Amino acid sequence: MQAAAPAHTFPWSWYVDPAVLAAEQERVFRRCWQYVARVDQVAEPGRFVATRAGDVPVVVVLGREGELRAFLNVCRHRGSLVCEGEGRRETLQCPYHAWTYDLDGTLRSAPRADREPGFDADGVRLLPLQVATWGPFVFVNPDASAAPLADVLGSLPSLLAEGGLDLDGLRFLRRVEAEYEANWKVCCENYLECYHCQVAHPAFSNVVDVSPDAYRLETAAWFSSQYGPVRDRPGREFDVSGELERGQFHFLFPNTTINVMPGRPNLSIGPVIPQGTERTYRFLDYFVAPDASEEWIDDFLAFDDQVGAEDRALVERVQAGVRSGLLDGGRLLPESERLIAHFQGLLVGALGG
């Protein structure tokens, strides 16, 4: 018999306590796969992109022989960040003292090292991290002993394909970045339920059927999914005619969101990254079909921007409430909010109970 979902939220102190965030960074973000970049950003030898996984600075680079690598973006000399932004280089050179690393991470040169008795560059290299791709997406895991990305993804790639989406047939459109005055878990939990949609997202609810009998919730080992069919008589906010008959919204633990709206081929993907106990950074990379019209793209992005603005107001209101400190926590509806319970269970497990 399946155990009932918990009826309570995390203690609200968990959304404001720096010690909790420190534990999450150490035991969750440094041990899990996270979306960090696109394959097209590192499509040629020497192409690199500086990014991060949680609070871990990362550089992803394509080697001369076409091997994709990821490193801790920290110089082995004095700890400076080695790379910023993205571009193409023959080597990775730290801007502090010009220690220079080859694209395989080995130290190629260190100024004045020949004047230092006993200095041995052998074995000095950037710290390698796990890196893997899924379609046009690049994921990184700081934990060298973690299970492969494919094991964590499980059936997720096939679910997208069964919904009519060909990842390799999409083109990158744009990246949207945002910061929120809210704990990262508040942002994730808002994403993980559509119980609020009919009240807070009228345009979305006029396109996607969010009624409890139509809107499906499913969980797997490391991800959860929401499916919403097109309403019988959608409004004009967004044209949903096309081969994708329903919306798919997936969450890969601990922080990657994947969105597919019904209609023409589209997808957005991005991480939820804590910047502090009450501040979160997010970005979404948008992909569309190569033949998507400018008119459709404009309508699609305006629609998504509106939903995002509504969600910003929601999560920041929640953070203002949990910050009050006079209540221990809240209640969860075991059915409508069961994906939150799934997320909280995974997080508690990652934190060691």
Rg of the chain taking only CA atoms, in angstroms: 22
132 burial level (CB within 10 Å; 0-12, 13-18, 19+): middle
How many Å apart are CA 182 and CA 317, to the nearest integer? 9
pTM of the model: 0.96
Which residues have C-beta within 8 Å of that of residue 20, sequence separation ≥ 6? Answer: 13, 14, 277
pLDDT over threshold 90, residue 232: no
Q: How far is CA 308 from CA 87, 140, 234, 302, in A?
A: 30, 26, 20, 10
Q: Which of 231, 258, 256 is nearest to 245 (CA)?
A: 231
DSSP 49-63: EEEEETTEEEEEEE-
DSSP letters of 157-176? HHHHHHTT--GGG-EEEEEE
For residue 4, pLDDT over 80 is answered with: no
Provide the residue ranges of all domains of the chain, joining segments of one domain with +: 34-141, 151-350
Cis peptide before 148 (omega within 30 of 0): no
Count the neighbouring beta carbons within 10 Å of the beta carbon of residue 169: 11
DSSP-derived 3-state class of residue 204: helix
In tens, the pLDDT along 160-175 reads: 999 999 999 999 999 9
34-141 and 151-350 have identical folds: no
Band (pLDDT 50/70/90 cuts) for residue 35 is very high
For residue 2, pLDDT over 80 is answered with no
299 Rama sector, left if φ>0, alpha if ψ -120 to 50, beta otherwise: alpha
Counting DSSP H helices and E strands in the chain, the numbers are: 8, 17
Residue 352 pLDDT greater than 60, yes or no: yes
The predicted pLDDT at position 123 comes to: 86
CA distance 237 to 254: 32
Which pLDDT does position 1 carry in this prediction? 38
**Neighbour tally for 18: CB within 10 Å:** 10
Give the residues across from 178 on adjacent strands. Answer: 282
Architecture of domain 34-141 in this structure: 3-layer Sandwich (2.102)
274 — pLDDT class (breaks 50, 70, 90): very high
What sign does the dihedral 300-303-307-309 (CA atoms) show? Answer: positive
> Is residue 12 within 8 Å of 330, Cβ to Cβ?
yes
Structure confidence at residue 235 as a pLDDT band (50, 70, 90): low
Domain spanning 151-350 has what CATH number? Answer: 3.90.380.10
pLDDT at 6: 53
Mean pLDDT of 18-42: 98
